[in-house]
Amino acid sequence: MPTKARSQLFRKYVVYFAMLVTTTLLASGLSGMYLSYKENVAALVELQHEKAIGTAYKIEQYMKEIEHEIGWTTMPQAFPEITVLDQRRVDYLKLLRQVPAITEIGYLDASGKEKLRVSRLAMDILGSDKDFSNDPEFTEAKTGKTWFGPVYFRKETEPYMILAMGASRDDTGVTVADVNLKFIWDVITQIKIGKAGYAYVVDAHGRLISHPDISRVLQQSDFSQFSQVRAALTNARSSSATVQRAMIADNADNEPVLVATAPITALGWAVLVEQPRTEAFAPLYASMLQTGLLLLAGLVLSLLASLALARRMVTPIQALRAGAAQIGAGILDHRIDVRTGDELETLAEQFNHMAKDLQESYSSLEHKVEERTQQLEIASRHKSAFLANMSHELRTPLNAIIGYSEILAEDAAAQSNIEAVSDLQKIRRAGRHLLALIDDVLDLSKIEAGKMQLAGTDFELRTLVDDTLLVVQPLLVRGNNRLETRLAIDGVVMHSDAVRVRQVLFNLLSNACKFTHRGVITVAALRDTTTQPERVVFSVRDTGEGITTENLEQLFQPFVQAKTIGRMHDGTGLGLALCRRFCELMGGEITVVSEYGKGSEFTFWLPVNARHLEGTSAS
Amino acid sequence: MKNTPVLTVLALCCALIAPSSKAEPAIPKIGFLGASTAEQANHLLKAFKQGLHERGYEEGKNILIETRFADGKLDRLPALAAELKALNVSVIAAPPHAAAAAAKKVTPDTPIVFALVGDPVSAGFVQSLAHPGGNMTGLSTINVELGAKRLELLKEAFPKTTRAAVLYNPGDATNDLQLVKIEQAAKTLGIQLLPLAVTKTEEFEPAFARIVKEHADALLVIENPVNFTQRDTLVAFATKSRLPAMYALKEFVDAGGVMSYSVSFAEQVRSSATFVDKILKGAKPGDLPVEQPTRIELILNLKAAEAQGLKISPSLLLRADQVIR
């Protein structure tokens, strides 16, 4: 199946090329995608982390700013004590105006007693002398550090923190400020993290201090159970550099978010920056999608290229194959047209060259065959002519020999020279045999030389058969054979060559007599009207020796006599060959069926009317 | 039948579009209930709409606002609140205490957002600030707490003050609570207090007459819808009488008053839009903590004070967040 072979080769090439190209492309594309994914994730995480750090820094700065502002009021005053308190109140009033986050601010003297309290909400208190000497805001601040108190919630909602600062000298007191942490909201809402991202702040216990959704803060939300918050606080506590930069976790609304954290070390707080994972990774997914689409486009292109390349490679091979098939089928003037400029074109040229050579040698061979055939024909004609002439030339002296031997035999008989009669009859018999042989040779050569003409006449077939049987009678008697006839040919008038019909029938009968002893010879003839043209079928069956299978094959060849029988029988060996030639000449056919040892049956049929064959000659 | 796939796709598209266009959510409708006149509360309504705008709402486009004003006649509030409930609004924004109280009476389940309530816990609006629990939430003005501070500031501005008149509305729960605080402060400050109950406009004239008669040397005006509606009358009386006055709202200073110490009502009402937004997005009012104000502003109108020949002590100037000269 050439198409199948072609498609197989084509498919093979396509698969090879496509596999090669797609493997390379996929390997490079996927590894590129993987690397860019890693890089992008790292960049996103880094960005998120930077934002967290930035937010933490801003909040720290915000708190530092408050601390700094309060710091101004703790400077030592160069006034007497009573005036100092007045002056301090003025400072505090200024501070309240300056720093909205401070709701209340008070002053504890060196012994820890409250001397002054200025508030935005409550009435100012002067000299309450409330003792804070054992409270941390006093004890811690006395050491000279700024004390950031724990986060507490005023009226159970508002996150507050106490910030206490001592002064530079031991004999001065401590300033204690209540800072409203809701103001950090102003800081964190300015942090923009994508569209849906947000930052929030938790204290050291994981309680929410600031969140863009202020309600969550006012609810005193405890975020300590969130894994990201725990991680953030762990990071805040440990100062090691190997902090987890970002993680994926579920936020308070159970949505997956990319979280980055940063500690506010001074306060022990942590900032968490969260962005919905889908949004955070959206650019990443977009770039992955883009890369993926490009890769896909590349794959499609490479597949198309593979198809084109495979087609390019298969088409000339297909042309070669088709061309070779044409040349193989004998169309030698076919030329293969392949112009690829490579080995395939060379191959095609070689094919063409071979075809050309073949064509040339074929034509010279044909020429020689023709020439030789002509020579043979001429030779054959010469041979036949020679034979015809030769037969004639032989017959004349032979007839003389026969004639004179008969005369001599009659004379010898008259003289009762029995011995001589016998010898002379031998001479005459040999002569007649020779004559018959020559006649046969002559007939055969005539037929082969194409000079045998049918002499068509109308004749009564029954008469012809009866005459022939009469002639054969002595031969039957000689072999002690019995003749049976089955003739259904009464009134059949044939138009054919009567002599030849008789000759064939006689030949078959005489052969039957020759090879049968004390047997039965059956002659049958019938007219078959079922065929077109109408024919007469003869058969001669004997119960004689029969013919071996190997002899049957060459039975109708000239000069062949059954070898097994050897030369113990008379005959020229031309009889059956002539029978066949005659039958064919008259438009009929002869066949034989025989079983060695049981007998033979020769059958021949002839057209009743062979008029159309007259004037033709067989070759 | 070449067109069959095309038709099928078209039919599918129609089938997909049709329900989605039907399913488009109806524009939410909210109510706004004011106690004063529409004109006097205009700046508050504007602030409220501004707040909604900041949350992405455009009136008429993705939100409908039904407004009702009682024109200072508090007895009309329940009917107006009932009207809003009948309109099946998703949220009732009732900024003033009186409006919120009226709305609360009318509906136990429609979310109510208040903005100008002095003490929502005492008023019984919410169970606690952190966890309101019911159908109300919003912003507190902490005015009850600030009453004492106002008297202190009045005394600081005018240290000679000895007898201060207080205009309040005894029907208003916040006012009563505030008056208690003010009375405590008066004792501390050594001021004799003259509380004057004004429940309706007609009662102003007798009150003014008493102030003059009793020789009050200062005036403290507690915020309530009656006072708010009649702020021009009040300021005019104080100016005429050259009476140092401390008002509970900036709006009085805008009307020519000398000083006020309070949260910004406009700011509060604007912030309340955040609550409306959260509720429209599915939050339960009971879960939204009440917000406390972070900025309480002392506003001094030196121009008005000078015009009246009043001298404000310099220490108060230190505290002033805004000074009108």
Q: Does residue A136 have a cis peptide bond before it, meaning omega lies within 30 degrees of 0?
A: no
User: Rounded to an integer, what is the distance from CA B41 to the centroid of its chain?
Assistant: 9
Its sign, for the CA torsion A535, A541, A545, A549, is positive
Dump pLDDT digits (tens) for B262-300: 999 899 999 999 999 999 999 999 999 999 888 899 999
A261 to chain B, any CB pair closer than 8 A? The answer is: no
Q: Which of B145, B318, B320 sits opposite A90 (nearest CB)?
A: B318
Q: Determine which of A11-20, A547-556, B147-156 has the lowest per-residue pLDDT on average.
A: A547-556
Judged by CB atoms closer than 8 Å, whether chains meet at B152 and A124 is answered as yes
Contacts of residue A94 in chain B, CB cutoff 8 Å?
Answer: 318
Is residue A44 within 8 Å of residue A258, measured between CB atoms?
yes
Dump pLDDT digits (tens) for B203-245: 999 999 999 999 999 999 998 888 888 999 999 999 999 999 9
Q: Please give the average per-residue pLDDT across A254-275, as a whole number.
A: 89
Domain residue spans in chain B? 29-141+265-287, 143-262+297-324
A483 to chain B, any CB pair closer than 8 A? The answer is: no
Is residue A589 within 8 Å of residue A534, measured between CB atoms?
no
Judged by CB atoms closer than 8 Å, whether chains meet at B185 and A123 is answered as yes
Contacts of residue A116 in chain B, CB cutoff 8 Å?
Answer: none
Dump pLDDT digits (tens) for A351-397: 889 888 888 998 899 999 999 999 988 887 787 778 777 777 888 88
Judged by CB atoms closer than 8 Å, whether chains meet at A93 and B315 is answered as yes
Instruction: Write out the two tokens for B35.
Output: 């106690």
Is A495 a residue whose pLDDT tops 60? yes
Instruction: Write out the two tokens for A313.
Output: 């490679």
B290 to chain A, any CB pair closer than 8 A? The answer is: yes
A218 to chain B, any CB pair closer than 8 A? The answer is: yes
pLDDT at B22: 44
Its sign, for the CA torsion B141, B145, B150, B153, is negative
pLDDT band at B139 (very low <50, low <70, confident <90, very high): very high
Q: How far apart are CA A536 and CA A490, in angstroms?
A: 12
B149 to chain A, any CB pair closer than 8 A? The answer is: yes
Dump pLDDT digits (tens) for A307-345: 888 888 888 888 888 888 888 888 888 888 888 888 888
Residue spans of alpha helices (H) in A479-560: 498-514, 549-553
How far A6 CA lies from chain B's nearest CA (Å)? 36
Between A462 and B23, residue with greater pLDDT = A462
Residue bearing tokens 């009435």: A123
pLDDT band at A235 (very low <50, low <70, confident <90, very high): confident
What chain A residue is nearest to B320 in terms of C-alpha separation? A97
Dump pLDDT digits (tens) for A511-568: 888 888 889 999 999 998 888 888 999 999 999 888 888 778 778 877 665 444 444 4
Please, which residues have CB within 8 angstroms of residue A363's CB and are 6 or more apart in sequence?
A: none
Is B259 a residue whose pLDDT tops 90? yes
Dump pLDDT digits (tens) for A217-229: 888 889 988 888 8
Q: How far apart are CA A387 and CA A385, in angstroms?
A: 5
> What are the residues facing A222 on neighbouring strands?
A207
Q: How far apart are CA A133 and CA B147, in angstroms?
A: 32
Dump pLDDT digits (tens) for A428-457: 888 888 888 788 777 877 777 777 777 888
CATH code, B143-262+297-324: 3.40.50.2300
pLDDT band at A7 (very low <50, low <70, confident <90, very high): low
pLDDT at B14: 44
CA distances from B254 to A96, B41, B70 (A): 24, 14, 22
Q: Determine which of A13-22, A230-239, B135-144 has the lowest per-residue pLDDT on average.
A: A230-239
Number of H helices, E strands in chain A: 14, 18
Q: What percent of chain A has pLDDT over 90?
A: 19
pLDDT band at A619 (very low <50, low <70, confident <90, very high): very low
Is B49 a residue whose pLDDT tops 70? yes
pLDDT at A551: 79
CATH code, B29-141+265-287: 3.40.50.2300
Secondary structure element (H or E) that encloses residue A380, with its range? helix A343-414
pLDDT band at B19 (very low <50, low <70, confident <90, very high): very low
Three-state SS across A453-500?
A: ECCCEEEEHHHHHHHHHHHHHHHHHHCCCEEEEEEECCCCEEEECHHH
Is residue B174 within 8 Å of residue B97, measured between CB atoms?
yes
pLDDT at A170: 53
pLDDT at B13: 44
pLDDT band at A82 (very low <50, low <70, confident <90, very high): low
Judged by CB atoms closer than 8 Å, whether chains meet at A183 and B130 is answered as no
Q: How far apart are CA A58 and CA A64, in angstroms?
A: 9
Q: How far apart are CA B28 and CA A487, in angstroms?
A: 126
Contacts A–B by Cβ distance under 8 A: 64
How far B130 CA lies from chain A's nearest CA (Å)? 5
Instruction: Write out the two tokens for A451.
Output: 């000079």
- What is the crossing angle of helices A418-448 and A575-585, to 10°? 40
pLDDT at A33: 84
What mean pLDDT value characterizes chain A? 84
Between A609 and B137, residue with greater pLDDT = B137
Q: What percent of chain B has pLDDT over 70?
A: 92
B219: closest CA among B308, B155, B263?
A: B155
Q: Please give the average per-residue pLDDT across A65-83, as a whole number.
A: 74
pLDDT at A201: 93
pLDDT band at A242 (very low <50, low <70, confident <90, very high): low
pLDDT band at A80 (very low <50, low <70, confident <90, very high): low
Could you check whether B29-141+265-287 and B143-262+297-324 share the same CATH topology? Answer: yes
Pairing status of strand B322-324 against strand B297-301:
parallel
Is A114 a residue whose pLDDT tops 60? yes
